[in-house]
Structure 1
Amino acid sequence: MTHAISMTHYFRPNVEAMAGYVPGEQPKPGTNIIKLNTNENPYPPSPTAMRVLQTLDGECLRRYPNPFANDFRQAISEVLEVPQDWIIVGNGSDDILNILVRACTELGRSVVYPTPTYVLYRTLAEIQPANVVEISYRDDFQLPIEELVAAKGAVTFIASPNSPSGHVVPTEDLQLLASELSGVLVVDEAYVDFADETALSLVQEFDNVIIARTLSKGYSLAGLRLGFGIANPSLLSGLFKVKDSYNVDAIACLVGAAAMRDQAYKNECVAKVKVSRAKLLLDLKQLGFQVRDSQTNFLLAAPPKGNAGEIYLALKERGILVRYFNQPGLNDKLRITVGTESQNQGLIEALIHLVQ
């Protein structure tokens, strides 16, 4: 017996219409690849954090975790000197962003951000759904404050440092923006560990500001999925209503707390990345690339002939992955994660043959 195939629409119209977020390519473990496409830290996690992972008590898996990840919140509080009740923990900082969009927006309430930036902001808004207002950065990546304020966002996202440009928005610009916004200002500091500036002080001045951070980049824990937000408790109170009851597992909480407290190791790895970043920038410029200064663990580089798509594919054939965004303003550029010295050297040696 055969059944006729019918076109049934199971999804909401906005979900049917959206493209969805496309993560960077992840090769199978053990594959002989130089992976410079998803801004992972090239160095291993803290040895202290690894010891916690290796000595876990099975009882922490049998029982539900603390719903607020208090062990991890306490570690954040100690290191960043913020009260524990000013912290919300998420399954990666993406979870924090998702909670914010779900709690604060709907049709008629806009998500606003300058572009180019992290494309997940649009995806989260489309899922909700919420209105999306994208405002182009100027050529010098000066924050378009007036346009952002005029958009009247329920949530305004500013990635600082920004991806894929690598620039930091000056704190005084964010301060001015926060003072004029009626909605929530989200300062996404995923790459702050590699930067010279943080906007963390703004949460004490404005109750509509939340700082989002992750352990994926500076702490080499992208696979753990752990992030957090810092804001006035009056703002967090609504977010706690929306988050999943147990959105952070017990393993992540314990390992993350150990990694957070091991600031010496994190800072040591960050320092190595910064040294490699400076050398890679110079090497790329010597090959004729136009490269922006960066306060992240990646560089945005335009090849001399503008043929970024071709170079991306040619590098992939050679076992080197970088990120290529085929969209206006970025289709002549590559986003390149800073790897180890040997990984960066392998990239440069490959590029020597491709750009001549």
Structure 2
Amino acid sequence: MTNFFRANVDAMASYIPGEQPKRGTQVIKLNSNENAYPPSPAALAALQNIDGEWLRRYPEPFGGEFRQAASQVLGVPSDWMIVGNGSDEILNVVMRACTEPGRKVVYPTPTYVLYRTLTEMQAADIVEIPYSEDYKLPVAELIAANGAVTFIASPNSPSGHVVPLEDLEKLARQLSGVLVIDEAYVDFAEGDALTLVKEYENVMIIRTLSKGYSLAGLRLGFGVASPKLLQGLFKVKDSYNIDAIACAVATAAIKDQAYKNACIAKITASRTQLAHNLKQLNFQVWDSHTNFLLVQPPQKNAEFIYQQLKEQQILIRYFPHPGLLDKLRITVGTDEQNQVLVDAIKALM
């Protein structure tokens, strides 16, 4: 039988996203960390006002309109940004530009499992360094591994913890390769690592509009790095990777900081209440700086609870991976959704 694929592709496992029920299905969906609230009215208005001429022509190849808006919000020059079809594409661009067989990709685990998938696609060398039980970053081990690319998600998924800025700075200062700080959930946290980009030319911050801005279905993310680092990334990105609709809607969304911040405030308040309710049921709940919680059921029967809730049309996330077999990741929904979840768990217990 003919084998069409490279050996590393043939051997690798596919990335498995969270389950996506069909539209119109009555499901409480708390498995993919989507924002519980709708996008900004300004973003929806931009969508309704799309000019057909924008669709006839190719879009601006670097997402210039969005970069200008993000520059104003973040206080970073627009030419220090690269825009992508979701932050996942930016991760992929970094991998295409910086890795190959014989080059190492390093990251602590457990973390975003796409890092492993992207590394296997490039046939680069994988170095996974386990977090301790308290999720303290293994700084010395990461520095010693000295990857061509080192990924640090902060806040991290699925743990929800934030890596201290001083730890990230140690990595930036001592690594010779690229340090990618994945801040997909930063809107739910109290701080960020953006200052490191200005100080270290090997640092890249990656963000997305999927979480804080309720635009997971739009697919727009961006990276912030020095022009020296970006010049190589621009060489390998697709010619027109950001469509005109995504650019217009995302521009309106990022400008509406008041709406985004109001939604974040509601989610963080709900996160506190959900954590309290689960602790009352004797769950172990890790502190979170995201829009989800990592929890451990008192009987450590995580897969059973996941399956039973799924039968009741309540989706949460179970990871069949080392260190996570007895844990669940639960997206923070609306207060009403969270209460349905808690009541269902009570009934199961």
TM-score tier, shorter chain, comes to over 0.9
Percentage of identical aligned residues: 69
Determine the structure 2 residue equivalent to 1:38.
32
* TM-score, reference length from structure 2: 1.00
Aligned CA-pair RMSD: 0.5
- The CA deviation string for residues 107-145 of structure 1, in whole angstroms up to 9 with x for no partner, is 110110000000000000000111100000111111111
Aligned equivalents of 1:152, 1:271: Cα separation in 2: 38
Task: Pick one of 307, 318, 335 that aligns with 1:313.
Answer: 307
Task: Pick one of 331, 335, 345 that aligns with 1:341.
Answer: 335
Determine the structure 2 residue equivalent to 1:229.
223
1:12-91 equivalence runs, <5 A: 12-91=6-85
Aligned equivalents of 1:273, 1:232: Cα separation in 2: 33
- Does 1:290 find its partner at 2:284? yes
Aligned length: 349
1:214-225 equivalence runs, <5 A: 214-225=208-219
Aligned equivalents of 1:302, 1:100: Cα separation in 2: 34
Aligned equivalents of 2:78, 2:322: Cα separation in 1: 42
Determine the structure 1 residue equivalent to 2:196.
202
Report the 3-state secondary structure (helix = DSSP H, G, I; strand = E; otherwise coil) of the residue aligned with 2:190: coil
Aligned equivalents of 1:346, 1:335: Cα separation in 2: 16
Report the 3-state secondary structure (helix = DSSP H, G, I; strand = E; otherwise coil) of the residue aligned with 1:168: coil
- The CA deviation string for residues 276-305 of structure 1, in whole angstroms up to 9 with x for no partner, is 000000000001100001000000000000
The residue identity in structure 2 corresponding to 1:278 is T
Task: Give the gaps of 5 or more residues in structure 1.
Answer: 1-6
The residue identity in structure 1 corresponding to 2:122 is Q
Aligned equivalents of 2:103, 2:283: Cα separation in 1: 41
- The CA deviation string for residues 244-287 of structure 1, in whole angstroms up to 9 with x for no partner, is 00011000000000000000000000000000000000000001
What's the CA shift for 1:20? 1.1
Aligned equivalents of 1:302, 1:141: Cα separation in 2: 15
Report the 3-state secondary structure (helix = DSSP H, G, I; strand = E; otherwise coil) of the residue aligned with 2:106: strand
Task: Pick one of 89, 99, 106 that aligns with 1:105.
Answer: 99
- Please list every run of at least 4 consecutive aligned residues from structure 1 whose deviation after the TM superposition is greater than 2 angstroms: none
Determine the structure 2 residue equivalent to 1:120.
114
What's the CA shift for 1:36? 0.1
* TM-score, reference length from structure 1: 0.98
- Does 1:193 find its partner at 2:187? yes
What's the CA shift for 1:328? 1.3
Report the 3-state secondary structure (helix = DSSP H, G, I; strand = E; otherwise coil) of the residue aligned with 2:168: helix
Task: Pick one of 238, 242, 248 that aligns with 1:244.
Answer: 238
The residue identity in structure 1 corresponding to 2:129 is I
Task: Give the gaps of 5 or more residues in structure 2.
Answer: none
- The CA deviation string for residues 34-67 of structure 1, in whole angstroms up to 9 with x for no partner, is 0000000010000001001001100000000000
- Does 1:160 find its partner at 2:154? yes
